[in-house]
Structure 1
Amino acid sequence: MPASPSAALPLLLLLVGASAVAQPSLPPGETADASRLVELSATAPKQVPEVRIRSGRLTTFLLGAPLKLARVELEEREGFSRVTELADMLTVLPSKAFTVGRRLKLRLRFVEGTVPASADFVLVVSTGAEMQVEVNLQPGTPYSTWQEAEAERIQARQCRAELERERQKPDGLTGLLATGRVDKTGLSARSLYAGMQFTRLPGQPLTVQEATSYRSLGLGALVLEVDNVSSRPWTAAGAALVGEGGERLKVLRVWPTEPLAPGATWRRVVVEAEVTEAQARGRFTLSLWQEGEPPSVSLEGVTFP
């Protein structure tokens, strides 16, 4: 004998309740439309999170810092009425093409260098939908790798841009004129003599025989004629020009980069720096060194024209 509607109702409610409990996508006590939080760790999760979606209902994935979307891989993407991708958000709107119970794979790939590199989900078509899913890193998850990679990418872009700007600049006198480093007054020069315009310290591997300072608009250069009196090759690694008040000039380059052979005489070494007209009125101490060693040249009393 068929059961009466009133007798079947408790059984129906029991089955619906059992179905709801069996859905792993919702924590106990949340409704079908609730917001939820998914926390990612550096290692792959043991179980792929399930997210309930519904035809005609938007579900939004919000990414917390430092997560940024690079690419979205969505199974049967053509069956969705709308898929909107932003740097920190993904919104999906399933169409009626999907029947209840259909399971679809979703992978969020993050920008290069992020740990973890991606996050996987299973979208489960249901009669209820989770409207908002917040995707964050688990507290304590290290993301210094992401920060370092991002800093390196920014630095690399800046270096490439700087190299491109330098490549486009003309060389030689044309370059000086084009960049406004030389005007009608030309390039000023001043000969410096040991014991008069500068003082050299004894016992250093390089002996300065002669020095000449040059200055144009905003730039200064110190040309040294040196002897390598040591028994080892000497290679310039850096230089400093420090004023009497402790002010340091910005050294742009030291030339040459090739080593000076032991016993080499009257070899030219050039130190270029940014020097304003006001700074050129002061006196400076030059220090010139090679990698991992104390200064090989120390000149006190250096001046610019």
Structure 2
Amino acid sequence: MHATSLVVLLWLALLAGSAAAQGNMVPGNGARRIELGPDDSGALTEIAVSPGLSTVILFDSELVQEGIALEGRHVFSNVDVGRTTMRLVPSERGTPGEKFRLSVRFRDGAAPPGASFLLTIHPARSDRLVEVYRSARTVESYQQEAREARAEMLRCQEERAHLVSEHGAPVGLAGLLATGGIDANGVAGRVVTETVSSDRRSALQPFMVQSFRSKTRVALEVFLSGLRGGLPWTASGAALRGPPGTELKVLRVWQASPIASGGPGRVVIEAEASAESARGSFSLKLWEAEGPRTVTIGNVTFP
């Protein structure tokens, strides 16, 4: 079979969909807001943290430095506490799903006198910026939140319109043309098996990796093996990170069947990307829905 035919067939399979297909959206850049009521000092609010990624917590009141307690501090490679800020960076010693309690006390003695959070380690996602309010907020603060809410609503409406248009479009190659996924240049493919790097701590290792790029999308076809014991592995989500501050929006992760111990398996990942944003080297991280086993592949490039 010619290489061009293989490329087309792969994209047809990619867009055909499956019960096993799952989407994953890149979070927005807005800060997450946590508001504490007078009686909330004992409540536990969950905050997502991830190995190697920085989570910054901003408080609207000064902290008592000696009143800060963090469970599992040895798991964090960086814990930087300021007068009203805290920066947390988990190390690779943290296991996805692990939870650590963080407690703080406020200097002014107003209610609530303190706050507690549950830091939950995720293999690839983190709350990058968290703002904690315990006093009256300014009008500007509410206006900013209203603007962010409107922006999120518009994003959701655009996403819904996009999904509706895709649903009503034909499948296969005609579907790619109907939704603007390809132009006259078609789909470019590249075998990148020899150039990618693999993390030895990954649950599975890649033995073949192919990358593809069209007008508005990129895709990866990853063949994995080497699972040693345990339950079969199924990819639940994916992250594609490039140069600092760059992360592609993953649209779907498709896997025909779970990968069993000793056996090979294939995972297909599709993401939004223009020719400009697909440049450079990317790191792919895959994770399962329930469990700590992840797969990390570095130095991924697209045609």
**Shorter-chain TM-score: what band?**
0.3 to 0.5
Between structure 1 and structure 2, the one with the greater Rg is 1
Q: Tell me which of the two structures has the higher relative contact order, counting C-alpha pairs closer than 8 angstroms and 6 or more residues apart.
A: 2
TM-score, normalised with respect to structure 1: 0.44
